[in-house]
Amino acid sequence: MIELNKKTDRKGKIMLGNFSYKNGTKLYFGNNSLNFLNEELKNYGKNVQLIYGGGSIKKNGIYDSVIEILKAGGKNIIEDSGVMPNPTVEKLYEGVKIARENNVDLLLAVGGGSCIDYAKAVSVSINCKDDPWQKYFIKYEEPDCKIVPVGCVLTMVGTGSEMNGGSVITNHKENLKIGHVFNEDVMPKFSILNPDFTLSLPKKQMVSGIYDAFNHICEQYFSGTDDNTSDYIAEGLMKSLIHSSLVALSDPNNYEARSNIMWSATWALNTLIAKGKSTDWMVHMLGQAVGAYTDATHGLTLSAVSLPYYRLIMPYGLQKFKRFAINVWSVNPDNKTDEEIANEGLIRMEEWMKKLGLTLNIKELGATEDMIEGLIEATFILNGGYKVLTKDDVRKIFKESM
Ligand code: NZQ
Ligand code: ZN
C-alpha cells in the first residue's frame, strides 16, 4: 500500500515534503527589455502610479525612457517619488493616499528593492479597511481585499523583490523593520531586467546588492541535513555570483558579469531554492534589527553580522559548512578534520567579502554599544536553521560584530 503524506525515509531523515510552486512574474531580460513595457501596459487601465526613489532614474535617463513609453501608451501618469532606501510606514500611508485619490490601475515601480517592496505594500493596502502596518507587518495577516497589480523596472540588483512577494517596511518610531512575504498574488505581474540600468550604481550599492543576493542563498542553503536538489542549485548560483562579483569589481562595466549578477540575484530569492527547505533567515533578522536602528544599507547590515553568526552556528551544521567549503569555495579536504575544512570555507568567504569592500562590523553602520540591548529586542528569533539562538547568542553576535 502506498503511504500518502509520508515525509521521512527509513532512517528518519526529513525528505522533500509536499509543496506547490507557482511564480506568476513574467520577466523580460536583456538590454532591449524595456521595449516590452509598452506591450505589458496594454493589459492595465489608464491610471499608472509611477513609483521611484530619490532621483537616480532622472540622472541616468531611465525616467525619460519610461515616461515616453507611458505617454505613447496613453496613460495618465501619477507621480509618486521619494521612496527612500528602507521605505517607511509614513511613506506607505502617503502612497496609499495617492493611489486612492487617483483610482490607480497599476503601480509601476522603477528602482530597487525599496521601490518594489513599497509598491507591493501599497498594492495590498489601497482597498484594505484596516491599518496596513498593524495588519500585515505586526499581526502578519494575509490580504483579504482586492490587490492592485504591480509592475517593475529594476535598476538595483540584490533583493529579488522583482520576482517575489516580499515587502519590507521600516517603522522608526517603533524601532522595527519587518518583512512580510506575501503569496504569489502580490508578486509583480511583470519585471523588466536590463543589466545596463545597473551600470550607474555606485560601487557601495553594487557590492551591497551582491552580498544581499549571496546571503539570500545562504539563508536557504544552511538548513536541513537531507539530500536536496535545491542545495545543488544554490551552490551553482553562489559560484556564479562569486565569479561575476570579482569580474565586476575590476571591470564595473562588464555587461556579461553584470547580467549574470542580475540573473543570479533574481533566482536567489524567487522561492525556487526554498522548496523542500526549512530555511534559516537569522542573518536577515539580525540585519533588520540593525537596519531599524541605523537605517543602514540592507546588504551591509547583513555582511556586518554574517561571520560572527556563521562561526557561532557552524558546529551545529558542521556537515553543511564542510560541503559549503568544498563545493563553493574549493577548499581541498585532504588530511583535514571536518572542523578545519568548514573553518577554511568561512575564511575564504571572509577574504572574498574583504575584497569586495563589504562592511564587516555594525559600528561602521552607526551602531553603538548602548544599542545592543535594543538590537537584541528587535531581533526576531526563527527556528529553521541549525541552532535556535538564545538571547545570549544574539548578544554575543552583536558584540562580536561591533
Ligand atoms: O532612490 P534612488 O535615487 O533611486 O537611489 C537608490 C538608493 O539610494 C540607488 N539606486 C538604485 N538604482 C540605481 C541607484 N543609483 C544609481 N543607479 C541606479 N541604477 O540605490 C540606493 C538603494 O536602493 P534600494 O532600492 O534601497 O536598494 P535595495 O534594492 O537593496 O532595496 C533595499 C530594500 O529592500 C528590502 C531591504 O530590507 C530594503 O528595505 N529587501 C527586500 C526583500 C524582498 N522584497 O524580498 C528581501 C531583502 O532581503 C531585503 O530585506
Ligand atoms: Zn536581503
pLDDT digits (tens, 9 = 90+) for 199-230: 999 999 999 999 999 999 999 999 999 999 99
Q: CA-to-CA distance for 58 and 66, rounded, in angstroms?
A: 10
The response to whether residue 215 sits with its C-beta less than 6 Å from ligand 1 reads no
- Determine what percent of the chain is predicted with pLDDT higher than 90: 95
The response to whether residue 279 sits with its C-beta less than 6 Å from ligand 1 reads no
The contacts of residue 227 (CB under 8 Å, 6+ apart) are none
pLDDT, one tens digit per residue, over 225-237 is 999 999 999 999 9
Q: CA-to-CA distance for 323 and 301, rounded, in angstroms?
A: 26
Please tell me the predicted confidence (pLDDT) of residue 48: 98
The response to whether residue 266 sits with its C-beta less than 6 Å from ligand 1 reads no
Average pLDDT, the chain: 95
Distance 284 CA to ligand 2 centre (A): 6
- The per-residue b/e assignment along 87-108, b for 16 or more CB within 10 angstroms, e otherwise, is bbbebbeebbebbeeeebbbbb
Q: CA-to-CA distance for 345 and 351, rounded, in angstroms?
A: 10
The response to whether residue 86 sits with its C-beta less than 6 Å from ligand 1 reads yes
Please tell me the predicted confidence (pLDDT) of residue 288: 96
The response to whether residue 112 sits with its C-beta less than 6 Å from ligand 1 reads yes
Name the closest-CA residue to atom 50, ligand 1: 168
Q: In this structure, what is the dihedral angle of CA atoms 348, 354, 356, 361, given to the nearest 10 degrees?
A: 120
Distance 85 CA to ligand 1 centre (A): 6
Q: In this structure, what is the dihedral angle of CA atoms 254, 258, 263, 265, given to the nearest 10 degrees?
A: 150
- Name the residue among 309, 268, 305 with its Cα closest to residue 289: 305
Q: Which amino acid is at 57?
A: I
Q: For a substitution probing ligand 1, which of 31, 63, 159 has the most ligand atoms within 8 Å of its CB?
A: 159
The model's pTM is: 0.96
The contacts of residue 168 (CB under 8 Å, 6+ apart) are 86, 87, 113, 117, 177, 178, 179, 180, 288, 298
pLDDT band at 14 (very low <50, low <70, confident <90, very high): low
Q: CA-to-CA distance for 153 and 189, rounded, in angstroms?
A: 11
The response to whether residue 162 sits with its C-beta less than 6 Å from ligand 1 reads no
**CB of 178 closer than 8 Å to CB of 168:** yes
CA distances from 259 to 68, 156, 198, 252 (A): 25, 12, 9, 11
pLDDT, one tens digit per residue, over 357-398 is 999 999 999 999 999 999 999 999 999 999 999 999 999 999
The response to whether residue 114 sits with its C-beta less than 6 Å from ligand 1 reads yes
pLDDT, one tens digit per residue, over 142-188 is 999 999 999 999 999 999 999 999 999 999 999 999 999 999 999 99
The response to whether residue 220 sits with its C-beta less than 6 Å from ligand 1 reads no
Ligand nearest to the CA of residue 116, numbered in listed order: 1
Name the closest-CA residue to atom 34, ligand 1: 113
The response to whether residue 168 sits with its C-beta less than 6 Å from ligand 1 reads yes
C-alpha cell at 67: 515616461
Q: CA-to-CA distance for 26 and 220, rounded, in angstroms?
A: 23
Q: For a substitution probing ligand 1, which of 83, 116, 117 has the most ligand atoms within 8 Å of its CB?
A: 117
Q: CA-to-CA distance for 372 and 394, rounded, in angstroms?
A: 9
C-alpha cell at 217: 542563498
Distance 87 CA to ligand 2 centre (A): 14
Ligand nearest to the CA of residue 197, numbered in listed order: 1
pLDDT band at 13 (very low <50, low <70, confident <90, very high): low
* CA-CA-CA-CA torsion sign (215, 218, 220, 223): negative
- Name the residue among 113, 116, 128 with its Cα closest to residue 291: 113
The response to whether residue 301 sits with its C-beta less than 6 Å from ligand 1 reads no
Please tell me whether residue 107 adopts helix, strand or coil conformation.
strand
Q: CA-to-CA distance for 149 and 156, rounded, in angstroms?
A: 21
- For residue 316, the tally of other CB atoms under 10 A from its CB is 13
Q: CA-to-CA distance for 16 and 8, rounded, in angstroms?
A: 9
Name the closest-CA residue to atom 36, ligand 1: 298
pLDDT, one tens digit per residue, over 328-356 is 999 999 999 999 999 999 999 999 999 99
The response to whether residue 111 sits with its C-beta less than 6 Å from ligand 1 reads yes
Distance 154 CA to ligand 1 centre (A): 10
Q: CA-to-CA distance for 210 and 220, rounded, in angstroms?
A: 16
The contacts of residue 253 (CB under 8 Å, 6+ apart) are 199
C-alpha cell at 190: 511583470
- Name the residue among 145, 140, 190 with its Cα closest to residue 167: 140
Q: CA-to-CA distance for 223 and 273, rounded, in angstroms?
A: 12
The residues with which 14 forms a beta bridge, in sequence order, are 8
Please tell me the predicted confidence (pLDDT) of residue 18: 82
